[in-house]
Amino acid sequence: METYNFDEQIPRRGTDSVKWDEFEADALPMWVADMDFRTAPAILDALRRRLEHGVFGYELVPQSYYDAVSDWFDRRHGWKGITRAQLVPTTGVIAAYSACIKAMSRPGDQVIVQTPCYNAFFPAIRNNQCTESHNTLVYKDGRYSIDFSDLERKAADPRSTVLLLCNPHNPAGRVWTREELERIGRICLEHGVFVIADEIHCELTYPGHDYTPFATLPEEIVRNSASCISPTKAFNIAGIQIANVFASDPAVLQKVDRAINDNECCDVNVFGCAALEAAYNRSEDWLDALRKYLYDNYLTVCDFLARELPEVTALPLEGTYLMWLDCRAARREGEPLEGFSERFADHLRYNAKLILSTGTIYGADGEGFERLNIACPRERLLDGLERLRKGVRTYARPDRG
């Protein structure tokens, strides 16, 4: 296996990076979900080759693109037989699930989400004139699980027509098991609720937690679903913007295709196709090395918090590179929980120069939590943890600044 240097510190400030250039120049950004690593060498080669051609007209998505998707999910995840006719490419996963909501709901319907959940789920629901129904995850003994009786109740509400599922779950860090997914799928099927599975984080799972594609569940459940997949998170090419919707039911796919066209996001980036093929066909060992590095980063955070910062509890990370931190014990004496996530995130930003994602942007259930992006070189991670330590100390005792 080739070795890759994930320790390399690649300067990103001044590159018009959302993550790095949106905040103060001396702040360390550990928020939005992209990584500080260079993408896989095979992807860089493919992009260089595409660039060298010099002509960047409209892209016809080639058969080799669909083959790359199909081969990858078969080889890596046991999801067999994806065909071109079951896929629609689009410009990103947000565009993908938004079009799926449009296709499978009517204005005024309720879309079920499992909160705390990815913050960009909320505007997509509203932009499709739907409302949110929260199937709040249960946080017990330091881990999240699904409240199935609540899901059953929410799904039985005739206004609920769609469940927007996140697997693996951002920010809860759970990789849903086959049993959990099948139970979700059965409840939704029984109550006529269509499942949209956002599986953008599917490649990034850790030992003992395998990703189960929703589309590998029993056929009747799969026909009641669409899956949104993309290599962009795992291979750090989010700015290139490419994703696919899969649906096994041709009538569903036709509606989704219509919605993608209505939303004017059916033309893909010329670099997107080249990058996707290189990712899925020639970057597997890079991905495995990355997963190992990220897992070691996760262990580093756990170790640091256990030794140095008992006020902050890291939730187990089964997948994604986004750690969900329970910071409630970092509150000042007598401080109410309400508004704490925002106060604490602001404090970290201005007093410890550390940018995390505020827990409540993922829904009110995120109160007391913050999200930490650990996809960076180890040295930078340790710098972030030191800043977190300083932030916790100065929050509790402002005089110690």
Ligand X SMILES: Cc1ncc(COP(=O)(O)O)c(C=O)c1O
Q: Which is nearer to ligand X, 46 or 238 (CB)?
A: 238
Residue ranges in contact with ligand X by CB under 6 A = 33, 92-94, 118, 166, 170, 198, 200, 230, 232, 238, 243
Q: Give the nearest distance from C-beta 371 to ligand X in angstroms.
A: 10
Q: Give the nearest distance from C-beta 195 to ligand X in angstroms.
A: 15
Q: Which is nearer to ligand X, 200 or 253 (CB)?
A: 200
Q: Which is nearer to ligand X, 109 or 198 (CB)?
A: 198
Q: Which is nearer to ligand X, 61 or 352 (CB)?
A: 61
Q: Which is nearer to ligand X, 196 or 314 (CB)?
A: 196
End-to-end CA distance of the chain: 47
Q: Give the nearest distance from C-beta 170 to ligand X in angstroms.
A: 4
Q: Which is nearer to ligand X, 106 or 126 (CB)?
A: 126
CA–CA dist 202, 234 (Å, integer) = 8
Pairing of strands 194-198, 160-166: parallel
Q: Give the nearest distance from C-beta 210 to ligand X in angstroms.
A: 18
Distance of CA 273 to the CA centre of its chain: 21
Q: Cα angle at 80 between 74 and 85, to 5 degrees?
A: 110
Pairing of strands 110-113, 160-166: parallel
> Helices 93-104 & 250-262, crossing angle to 10 degrees?
110
CA–CA dist 52, 47 (Å, integer) = 8
CA–CA dist 165, 188 (Å, integer) = 11
What are the angstrom distances between the C-alpha of 391 and each of 156, 297, 346, 360, 395? 45, 20, 10, 19, 6
Give the CB-nearest residue to ligand X.
92
Q: Give the nearest distance from C-beta 286 to ligand X in angstroms.
A: 20
Cβ–Cβ under 8 Å, residues 77 and 237: no
Q: Give the nearest distance from C-beta 97 to ligand X in angstroms.
A: 7
